[in-house]
Structure 1
Amino acid sequence: MEFVNIILLISVSQGFLFGFAILFSPYFKSSTNKYLGYSILILAFLMFNVYLDTLNVYEQYPEFLILYDIELIFLFPVFFFLYILKSIDQDFVVERKWNWLYIPFMFSVILNVVYNLEHIYKWEISFLSDQALMYEWAFGLQEFGYYFYNFVIAIWAYNILKHNKYTNQMHGKWLKKLCIYEVSLVTCWILIDVADMIFNIGYDIGISIICTITSFFIFWIVYNGIYSLKISNFKNSDVNFNEDTLEPKNPKVSTPELSFSKDNIYFQKLEGLLEKDYIYRNPNLNQEMVAQTLNISSGYLSQIVNDVTKKNFTAYINSYRVNEVKEMILNEEFDKYSLLSIGLEAGFKAKSTFYTSFKKETGLTPNQFKIDHKKVQFF
């Protein structure tokens, strides 16, 4: 039992350390990484519960048993899935739209709260006559659910990553591996539970194996998913880091958050594509296409554009189109062109987008701009 406790303590400590580091460290903190941090903390808390159970804490203090009974494992696939979607900047990631993913966890909360209130605190809540049968079915559904749910979510995430739209993204390979390893972790967990039921391998052996595998899984996530990939992002920012110590080469440079400047190599490449190749003239141009051309993730491109230009990707591209429209309006060779034709020639896809973007950039409608600047030229 002492060996099992040592394994558990190592796993729990590693999980909490890495989880909180991802959530609060300025080097890793981001709206995407927070879901990975939540996932790791969930695993750490689950192992911590097992550790408390081996110390018979819940037998001595049964009023806290509800913390052990509520299946937090239902939250792990949710945070895991949202991390995958946000990592690839999936278009349909809207947090409210995915609230239904929390339903299995809420089911577990309600089931175990009611059960503990009745059996630990002796409250009379259930209105059903055959409570034993009801709880048997409910807990059976819960047990089947946390195996099944983890599998389904991981496979769903992997199928999204397999889509051709995301195969060339910067982090695509590691995200696919993450899905595969997550499925492998759940598979090991199920097989160990089945082996224990059939061959009675023993609680201590099963827990030791699961916690060891989970520890390696967490370490792999942190090293490959956060450490390596975030370092590559820093190398592409305006801060130079020592590759061995990960400390800024210039100690006077403050790095409280990941940020970018016009010196960023990918922003320079983007400006080259816009100013030399005129890619903005393509009315179907989108963030994903440009990200693939630059061989970076769509989310990373979005962060660069936002930091440097203080605009989102679409507004930034439209600003180039507006500038070209202004030049064409002032060019006598385009006097016979309608304003809409000029806008479409510059890359706008629709009249409404053209007029809205032009007014936002210049404060004038295209027609007002034409009248005002023709007057200036006349005088």
Structure 2
Amino acid sequence: MNTEEIFNLFLLISALHGFLFCFVILFSKNGREKSMLFINLLVLIISLNNMQSWILAKNFFIEYFFLDYIHIPWHFLIAPFFYMFLIHYLEIEKRSKNLLKIILPVFVLIITIRIGFVSFFSDKNTTDVAYLFEKYTSFEEIFSLIVSLIIFGYSFKILSKKEKLFIKILSYDNLKWIYTFFKLGLLTYIFWIIALAITVALDFKEFIYSYYPLRVLTTVLIYWIGYQALLQLRLLKERKDLRKQLNFAPITDANNIIKEEKDADKKIVFDKIQSTIQEKKLFIEPKLNAEFLANEVDISSTKLSTIIKLFTDKNFNDYINEFRIDLAKELLAHPEYKNYTITSIGLESGFNSKSTFYSTFKKHTGVTPAQYQKSLNR
């Protein structure tokens, strides 16, 4: 089996996998969520693009001029659908632009122009048709690339520069997985630019090999974010449910608490630290630091760390993690949450990642969260 045959097999398998993914998610518990709907559309258009590429590579329409040259530019919709997923996942769609209102009419116009282009040459008996078609397709693709880069950059600007719009989501998800997607997405655009540059350098003669890495990377990336979004959406819903049922309050403004007298003795200050953390459940916030807690009890961060060390013989992080571990153990033991993922319980207990939760839990208890939960069911 040569390279082309392997690549064509990849296109077929990935397309079928994508269709199956879309079907399963559509009828799943979270399939009707707006953010998941746009991820599903993202996977669907990549699947359609791969199926189209496979059909054309197999020359199924070689005897039908019109069908052989009508290629739907599905790639034009990738960035817009990702943008729509992003604003819905961050729950800022009402304060963001609906780019689909602009993109979809342009997409229809591109298809209309392509149909007109093919119709014009359908009755022409000329050897230049293939060359003209490849040249037109490349210009169309360059336009798609420019639009995609603009939307991609705008999406990243929202994620990195407008955190004040989605503070609520940040209390549940640090969004590292979306930042990872942007890094890989940038690599994908570099491959796309290289493939187009090769096509132009070869005077628009077909050079399909330059697109092999691009299509493989794009497919893997889109399916990866599909599964990641499904997982993160489940974690998000579970954590919201946990917080609602346990009546956790978010960190409030430091100006709303009663200040302790600055001349109070160390034991009173330590008791104040303990009660503030417990009453406000401050430890469930992954970004909690000594400076914030010190401000809550109206002392310096240095004094706070000194007092914690004096009464617990622990540094700030170990001290706070004890509260998180206690909560995690309580949730893991609670029968009402036995079907919740261990990851969502760990994140809702205040840890910023699954790996940190597992390592810290084992450090404090000697067993992993899974082993601890299993021991309770014996």
**Normalising TM by the smaller chain, what interval?**
0.5 to 0.7
Which secondary structure state, in structure 2, belongs to the residue aligned with residue 236 of structure 1? Answer: helix
| Pair 194,24 (structure 1): closer, same or farther in 2 beyond 3 Å | farther
2:148 matched to 1:150?
Answer: yes
In structure 2, give the amino acid aligned to 1:79.
F
2:209 matched to 1:210?
Answer: no
Report deviation, 1:102: 2.5
Which secondary structure state, in structure 2, belongs to the residue aligned with residue 89 of structure 1? Answer: coil
Q: Summarize the alignment of residues 12-51 of structure 1 with structure 2, pairs less than 5 Å apart.
A: 12-51=15-54
Alpha carbons 2:15, 2:48 under 8 Å: kept: yes
Structure 2 gap ranges (5+): 125-131, 258-281, 287-378
Other-structure match for 1:233: 236
Other-structure match for 1:111: 113
| Pair 137,210 (structure 1): closer, same or farther in 2 beyond 3 Å | closer
Q: Deviations over 1:13-66 (max 9, x none)?
A: 232222333333224441111111111111111111111111112322333246
Q: TM-score normalised to the size of structure 2?
A: 0.54
Report deviation, 1:161: 0.6
In structure 2, give the amino acid aligned to 1:147.
L
Alpha carbons 1:15, 1:215 under 8 Å: kept: no
Q: Deviations over 1:155-176 (max 9, x none)?
A: 1100011123257522532223
Report deviation, 1:199: 7.5
In structure 2, give the amino acid aligned to 1:217.
L
Other-structure match for 2:12: 9
Q: Deviations over 1:285-339 (max 9, x none)?
A: xxxxxxx99869xxxxxxxxxxxxxxxxxxxxxxxxxxxxxxxxxxxxxxxxxxx
| Pair 195,52 (structure 1): closer, same or farther in 2 beyond 3 Å | same
Q: Deviations over 1:223-255 (max 9, x none)?
A: 32222x134235437xxxxxxxxxxxxxxxxxx
Greater relative contact order (CA < 8 Å, ≥ 6 in sequence)? 1
- Quote the Cα distance in structure 2 between the aligned partners of 1:232 and 1:18: 19
Which secondary structure state, in structure 2, belongs to the residue aligned with residue 269 of structure 1? Answer: coil
Other-structure match for 2:164: 165
Which secondary structure state, in structure 1, belongs to the residue aligned with residue 91 of structure 2? Answer: coil
- Quote the Cα distance in structure 2 between the aligned partners of 1:278 and 1:223: 41
| Pair 294,87 (structure 1): closer, same or farther in 2 beyond 3 Å | farther
Alpha carbons 2:38, 2:82 under 8 Å: kept: yes
Tell me the percent identity. Answer: 17
- Quote the Cα distance in structure 1 between the aligned partners of 2:120 and 2:208: 31
Q: Summarize the alignment of residues 69-84 of structure 1 with structure 2, pairs less than 5 Å apart.
A: 70-84=72-86
Report deviation, 1:183: 2.7
Q: Deviations over 1:321-365 (max 9, x none)?
A: xxxxxxxxxxxxxxxxxxxxxxxxxxxxxxxxxxxxxxxxxxxxx
Q: Deviations over 1:122-176 (max 9, x none)?
A: 8xxxxxxxxxxx9999766523211111111111100011123257522532223
Report deviation, 1:104: 3.0
Other-structure match for 2:59: 56
Other-structure match for 1:222: 226
In structure 2, give the amino acid aligned to 1:145.
F
Alpha carbons 1:11, 1:212 under 8 Å: kept: no
- Quote the Cα distance in structure 2 between the aligned partners of 1:268 and 1:67: 57
Alpha carbons 2:19, 2:47 under 8 Å: kept: yes
Q: TM-score normalised to the size of structure 1?
A: 0.54
- Quote the Cα distance in structure 2 between the aligned partners of 1:57 and 1:271: 61
In structure 2, give the amino acid aligned to 1:107.
L
Report deviation, 1:202: 8.2
